[in-house]
Structures are given as structure tokens and as C-alpha cells.
Structure 1
């Protein structure tokens, strides 16, 4: 694993999932980055997380995404370093990042589908998580 001084922590794995979704459409939106930062700064699971590691994790994700089987390797690292009871948490964080800019593009939908498969997220649970992310990121419309 390039440039990480230690193996991925569970928190690193969660950050990696969020970065992966943001980078999936090759257009990292400011809203997505702000969502990642807010999650890391405010969620209890990141209470002891060293934010400096997020930069290293981001580099690892970008390096892996440029490799031929990099996405498979990335999901392998996530499964290996994130306890399975946090896999739904990872999916929820990924959905929040994907929904943060108000639109879901094809690549984001595909990466979420792949994530559901790789992290063994039950379809019914995934639908509930996705609906929650959509509800949290709604905006007022003028009618």
C-alpha cells in the first residue's frame, strides 16, 4: 500500500469509501468535499481520527483508481480493515457524499452498486440508506 505509514484503520477505510464515490465521476465537487469534511469532523466514529491521514488515504485511493484492478484492490482493503458491522455505515457515508451535490451521475450510481455488492449490503437495507441520504440532501424548490 503506497505511502501509508501504517495499515488502514477502520476510519481510513471509511474515508477511502467516501473519496472513492466522490472521485467516481472524475469530477470532485466542492459539496462532496464539504460533506466528507463534515462527516469526519462531526461523526462519533471519527472522534479520535487524525485528519492528516485523510490526505494520505486520498492519495492511496487516487493511486489505486489509476491501476487496472485498483477498484477491486480498494474494496479488498476496505473489507480487510473495516469490521463488517460497519459496512452499512460505509455505504451510508458513500450515499451522503454521492447525494451532497444534488445529482447522481452514472459513475456514482455504478460505484454505489459495486459497493453494495462488495460490502454485502442487503438490497432492502441499501434502499433505506439511499432514501435517508436523499432526504437529508433535499433542497427547497420554488413552486
Structure 2
């Protein structure tokens, strides 16, 4: 029987999946995951020390046959609808942490948006907000 995934774990799954989408997990993205788990209210009650174990769990799922599909289905099944935009926002936040989006990260965001059934306006607002937050002054 498969382990029951918590809401916190599903949100971390999303962040790890976007970080690993391009085949590498840059230090800046890993740091951002830790920062977000430490201060965002959605992670209240989750011990940040558990991030490594959750990251290993999702990496194990992704390594299996149809891993990405299974992982996205776990996320969708675990998260209440009201947290779908939160999950997408977390993914965008991690993807933009290194100030570069590559094709695999864009593709993952498209898959996540479709799986979570987010409308285009909501997704665009989240994406635009990330662009504004990470813009440089000069």
C-alpha cells in the first residue's frame, strides 16, 4: 500500500519537481525551497528538517515508470482545490529563483497548470507577480 502524502509533502513535491525538471537542482533553488517551507503560513506545522526525506520520496517516484504522471496525480489528489493556485505559485517561485526559465521548466509549469485545472488568467497573474518580484533595478 502506498504511503499517504500530506498537503505539506505534496507542496514540497511540486517545488522539487520544478527544480529537477531540467535535470539539475541548483543550490539557489534548493535554498529557496527551504526558505519557503520555513516562513510561508501554508507550511505551519511542518518541520523543515523533513524536506530532505520528502525530496527523496518524490525523486524515487519520479525515477519510476510514468513517474511524472504519477507524481502530478498524487499532488492533484492530495491538495484541496483551494491550494491549487498555491502549488502553482510555489512552482513558479522556484522556477524563477535562478532568474532563468528553460524549456523543461516551462513544460512542467504547463503540465502542472493543466493537471490542477488552473485557468489561464490565474496562472498569468501568478507568473506576472513572480516576474515583478525578481526584476532587477538596473
Contact 2:34 2:48 in 1 (8 A): no
- d(CA) in 2 for partners of 1:26, 1:73: 18
Q: Distance in 1 between matches of 2:51 and 2:20?
A: 14
Checking the alignment, whether the CA contact within 8 Å between 1:22 and 1:28 is kept in structure 2 is yes
Corresponding residue for residue 102 of structure 1: 99
With normalisation by structure 2, the TM-score equals 0.94
Of 24, 29, 39, the match for 1:27 = 24
Written as runs of structure 1 = structure 2, the 5 A alignment for 1:59-138 is 59-138=56-135
Match of 1:47 in 2: 44
How far residue 51 of structure 1 moved from its aligned partner, in angstroms, is 2.1
Is residue 21–residue 94 contact of structure 1 (8 Å, CA) maintained in 2?
Answer: yes
Unaligned runs of 5+ in 1: none
Residue in structure 2 matching 1:16, options 13, 21, 35? 13
* Cα RMSD after superposing both structures: 1.4
| Number of aligned positions between the proteins | 138
- Measured in 1, the distance between the counterparts of 2:137 and 2:98 equals 14
The answer as to whether partners of 1:12 and 1:53 remain within 8 angstroms in 2 is no
